[in-house]
Amino acid sequence: MTESGRRGEGTDAVHAGELRQQEANSITTPIYQTSTFWFKHSQEVIDYNEGRNVREEYGRYGNPTWRSVERKMSDLEGGDESVLFASGMCAATTTFFALLSPGSHLIVTRDCYRRTRQFIDDFLVRFGIEVTVIEPGDTEAFERALRPETAIFFTESPTNPFLRVADIPAVSEIAHANGVTVIIDSTFASPINQRALALGADLVLHSATKYLGGHNDLLAGTVTGNPEIVSTIRSALGILGGVIDSHGAWLLLRGLKTLALRMERHNQNGLAVARYLASHDRVRRVWYPGLASHPDHAVAKEQMRGFGGVVTFEIDTDLAGACRFVDATRLPYQAPSLGGVESLIELPVTMSFWEMPAEQRQRLGITDSLCRLACGVEDPADLIADLEQALEAV
């Protein structure tokens, strides 16, 4: 237990949200594999509709297995309410659809998951949402971008792929003084490394596919925070229908139990690999918030307890040399995503940004030799030795 009397995150990861009151006395929460839930009589239906009977009705609106995940996420993030989705993108898109209207103004940061940006550009703008893009970490730019119709400030923190870190307390104070909702995508941090709600955010979003699930075997998303806002998002989810299946929810529930343990190794590996790469003469630059060279290192030290397993770096070579490097690695799988026990490596130019015109990629800093390594939980010495031999192939 912490000095404040609150249980530690490791304890919450194991115990929070679990269904201890079961007929079978099972240690693990069951998978409720059902599409609907029956009522004993009409009065029970009426009591449910009038809020006197808290239970499930239909599979798109809720499931006891989901509820366990949602309660666990609320405890881990220190929030009042959480809602579970079929994917991180579903969490983001449903949240935007629920909270924005034609004429609303949205402020986002430039460094951002490409599909989130694509949704904003291809859907929200078409539906009459005005969007302003600012540089990550630029609090003054955020303040200048505010308008009377600004509804949401959304940013990842850390961002993808350059791991920029927003000053969450500063932007939250400014946003709330202007009636703006702050949403932080904390996928690259996890609740173990950063608790965005305690720093001032209204909502925290995760692609639970990543660190929360932790085993590269599920797709899921979560949103946690202000109960009134989360209730609005939950209602939209019931209409839009992007719900997770109960088995996927159970896999996430199982993965969360080891979150604190896994994050300790992800943090250890990320920092060790970042320091190694920063000292290598074939590496031009390394982006990792735990390094003093990172532009947001001071902010990251203030609001994060660890810096995660993702390291982005630029090799001193061309595209062909970068491909030789990635192909020469033996431990990481060449694949998108992050946060699993297996290390994953990718060249954003060939993986995530291949369809984007070269000029646009350059504006975003996506060079031909930029590499993103998502460290898993292997031994750090083995990861570094593998990178060492692979860099010889450049």
CA angle 358, 127, 183 (to 5 degrees): 75
Expressed in angstroms, the distance from the first to the final Cα of the chain is: 49
Selected catalytic residue, list 113, 211, 276, 288: 113
Cβ burial of 271 (10 Å; 0-12, 13-18, 19+) is buried
Q: Can you tell me which residue has the tokens 């770096």?
A: 313
Catalytic residue flag (residue 48): no
Q: CB within 8 A of 89, min separation 6: which ones?
A: 115, 116, 119, 207, 221
DSSP 240-259: H--PPPHHHHHHHHHHHTTH
DSSP for 319-359, written as a single string: HHHHHHHHHH-SSSEE-S---SSS-EEE-TTTTTSTTS-HH
In angstroms, the CA 45 to CA 64 distance is 18
Q: Among residues 60, 71, 114, 117, which one is catalytic?
A: 60
**210 has catalytic annotation:** yes
For CA atoms 214, 220, 226, 227, the dihedral sign is: negative
Is 61 catalytic? The answer is no
Active-site hit among 185, 202, 245, 386: 185
Classify residue 29 by its DSSP letter: P
Burial tier of 2 (Cβ tally within 10 Å: 0-12, 13-18, 19+): exposed
Residue 374 phi, psi dihedral angles, 5° rounding: -100, 100
Respond yes or no: is residue 113 known to be catalytic. yes
**Which of 210, 262, 361, 372 does the annotation list as catalytic?**
210
Catalytic sites, residue numbers: 60, 113, 185, 210
